[in-house]
Structures are given as structure tokens and as C-alpha cells.
């Protein structure tokens, strides 16, 4: 018994040592306060960040499962992509991962979960949600920073974040240089405001049982009808986790960072 107890004790100590030895995340913990509201977010700066230079800015909107107040869960998907040494060297950028509050949403939408795929009723006329409004305010504050290139501000998001991406394009059509909505949805009637201004690459899984692929198809069709030529990738036999495939696309970041606002047709 004493020997087993000693083994357990040493295993616990060993586990603690391993946990303590883990390197700190390069994403700093930040807060953005507007009145009585607080938006928690994580920020990745380029290696060798020089405030005298101008850098692209990437906003990444997480999905519904990563909501909360721990300022941690929003890094589960996508954050590792921007930490890869190859991309950090090739495309030095400021990357923001805000966290949506529990019970709130990036998009102004009523959701029917009585069956799947879920039903979505977008209600843009109500204005942005509190969390999205805070994100807009955050973007505006960074847009005024001398080290952010206003011609190279990008937005991407998955699931709920894909919906937020489409809504941000609607609400701020002159802000973004390019956008990547993944397994999202939006209001096709609103795309005329940004169709010719913002290049898009849209992703979805063909058998998505949470957010039906029809939503992305409708948005892409509306963009084509409005004169845009968006990229569209529909993954065969992929369910809701199409972000696993989209974020692994070797041309994803080269495509994103190739755009500047004046590139819009």
C-alpha cells in the first residue's frame, strides 16, 4: 500500500511538472470594454512585432460550442493554423479570437432546434447582437491603430462564426479585404452590399446535419447573381466539421492574404 501510494504521489508530481513545463500560449489574453459590457479575446502578434510597421489583421469567429467567459475555448479550432512557423514567417499578421458570451450569438438569428438540420430565421433588422456589436467596436478600435493596415483586414468564422462572418460583411461592407465563411448561413438578399467589394471563399460539408449546406449554396448563388465570383468548396460526405478540411487547405492563407481592399471588383 505504501509503495502504491508513493507511486501515485510521484505520478501526480510528474503530471504537475509536465503541466508547469507546457509553454505559454502566444495568444495573449485581452479584454475590450464598452460601457458596462466586456468582450474577452485572444491576440496573436507577429514574431518580432514592430509598432512602427503596418500589419494585416485577421478576425476569427468561433462556433457555438466555444462560447463562454474563460477566454480559452475559442482557441480550440483555428488558432493552431496561425501559429504554424511557416505561415507566421510568410504572413506576419495580427490575429484576433474574440469569445462570444454564453447565451449570446454572433448573428442576429432565431434558431429552431426541434429538428436537424436546425432552422434559422435571421432578423438583421433588430441590429447586431451585443457580442457582435462589441466585435464591431473592437475592429473599429484596431482599425485606428497605426500598426494595422486598413487595406488588409480579414474575417473568417465557422458555424455560428460563419453566420457572424456573413452578417459582418452586411453591416460593414467597406471594412474587409476578404472573407472565409465555413459551414455558415446568412441572408441572400443582403449580399448586393458587399458582393463586388469583398472576395469570398465559402466552405461547407455536403452532408452537414447541423447547418444545412443549402444555406451556403443560397449565399453563393446570390453572390453570383450580384456579379461576384466567390470560391466555393463543398466537401463530399463531410458533416458539420467541414472546418477540419477548410483549415487544412494549403491555399487557404495564401488566398486570404493575397487580397487587399482595392482588389475588389
Model pLDDT, residue 265: 47
Residue 9 domain-assigned? no
Q: Which domain holds residue 68?
A: 25-263
pLDDT above 90: percentage of residues in the chain: 89
Number of domains composing the chain:
1
pLDDT above 70: percentage of residues in the chain: 90
Residue 52 domain-assigned? yes
Rounded CA separation 127/105 (Å): 12
165: Cβ contacts below 8 Å, ≥ 6 apart: 61, 155, 156, 157, 179, 180, 181, 184
Q: Is-above-0.85 flag for pTM? A: yes
Residue 123 domain-assigned? yes
User: Residues 204, 205, 206, 212: is their CA dihedral positive or negative?
Assistant: negative
pLDDT band with cut points at 50, 70 and 90 for residue 48: very high
Residue 32 domain-assigned? yes
- CATH number for the domain spanning 244: value is 3.40.50.1820
Closest CA to 157 of 218, 66, 230: 66
Choice among 4-8, 31-35, 258-262 with the minimum mean pLDDT: 4-8
Residue 8 has pLDDT above 50, yes or no: no
Residue 178 domain-assigned? yes
Residue 18 domain-assigned? no
Rounded CA separation 163/86 (Å): 29
Q: List, for residues 94-127, the tens digit of each pLDDT value.
A: 999 999 999 999 999 999 999 999 999 999 999 9
Model pLDDT, residue 248: 98
Rounded CA separation 224/218 (Å): 10
Q: List, for residues 152-195, the tens digit of each pLDDT value.
A: 999 999 999 999 999 999 999 999 999 999 999 999 999 999 99
Q: List the grid coordinates of 37.
A: 459590457
Q: List the grid coordinates of 213.
A: 449546406
Rounded CA separation 191/189 (Å): 6
Instruction: Please report how the helices 160-171 and 130-143 are oriented relative to each other, as an axis angle in degrees rounded to 10.
Output: 60
pLDDT band with cut points at 50, 70 and 90 for residue 263: low
234: Cβ contacts below 8 Å, ≥ 6 apart: 203, 204, 205, 206, 213, 216, 217
Whether the Cβ atoms of residue 58 and residue 256 lie closer than 8 Å to each other: yes
Residue 6 domain-assigned? no
Mean pLDDT (whole number) for 214-219: 98
Model pLDDT, residue 24: 81
Q: List the grid coordinates of 94.
A: 495580427
**Placement of cell 473599429 in the chain:** 140
Amino acid at each position: 500500500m505504501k509503495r502504491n501510494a508513493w507511486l501515485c504521489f510521484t505520478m501526480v508530481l510528474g503530471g504537475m511538472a509536465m503541466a508547469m513545463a507546457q509553454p505559454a500560449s502566444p495568444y495573449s489574453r485581452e479584454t475590450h470594454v464598452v460601457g458596462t459590457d466586456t468582450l474577452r479575446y485572444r491576440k496573436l502578434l507577429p514574431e518580432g512585432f514592430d509598432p512602427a510597421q503596418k500589419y494585416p489583421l485577421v478576425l476569427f469567429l468561433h462556433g457555438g460550442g466555444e462560447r463562454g467567459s474563460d477566454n480559452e475555448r475559442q482557441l480550440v479550432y483555428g488558432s493552431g493554423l496561425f501559429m504554424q512557423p511557416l505561415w507566421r514567417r510568410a504572413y506576419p499578421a495580427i490575429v484576433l479570437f474574440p469569445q462570444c458570451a454564453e447565451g449570446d450569438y454572433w448573428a442576429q438569428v432565431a434558431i429552431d432546434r426541434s429538428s436537424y438540420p436546425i432552422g434559422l430565421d435571421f432578423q438583421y433588422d433588430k441590429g447586431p447582437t451585443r457580442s457582435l456589436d462589441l466585435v464591431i467596436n473592437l475592429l473599429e478600435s484596431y482599425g485606428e491603430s497605426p500598426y494595422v493596415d486598413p487595406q488588409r483586414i480579414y474575417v473568417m468564422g465557422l458555424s455560428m462564426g460563419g453566420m457572424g462572418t456573413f452578417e459582418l460583411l452586411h453591416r460593414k461592407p467597406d471594412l474587409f479585404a476578404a472573407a472565409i465563411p465555413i459551414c455558415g448561413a446568412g441572408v441572400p438578399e443582403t449580399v448586393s452590399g458587399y458582393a463586388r467589394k469583398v472576395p469570398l471563399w465559402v466552405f461547407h460539408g455536403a452532408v452537414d446535419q447541423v447547418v444545412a449546406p443549402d444555406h451556403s449554396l443560397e449565399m453563393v448563388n446570390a453572390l453570383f447573381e450580384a456579379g461576384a465570383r466567390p470560391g466555393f468548396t463543398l466537401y463530399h460526405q463531410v458533416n458539420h466539421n467541414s472546418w477540419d478540411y477548410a483549415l487544412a487547405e494549403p491555399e487557404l492563407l495564401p488566398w486570404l492574404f493575397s487580397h487587399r481592399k482595392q482588389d475588389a471588383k
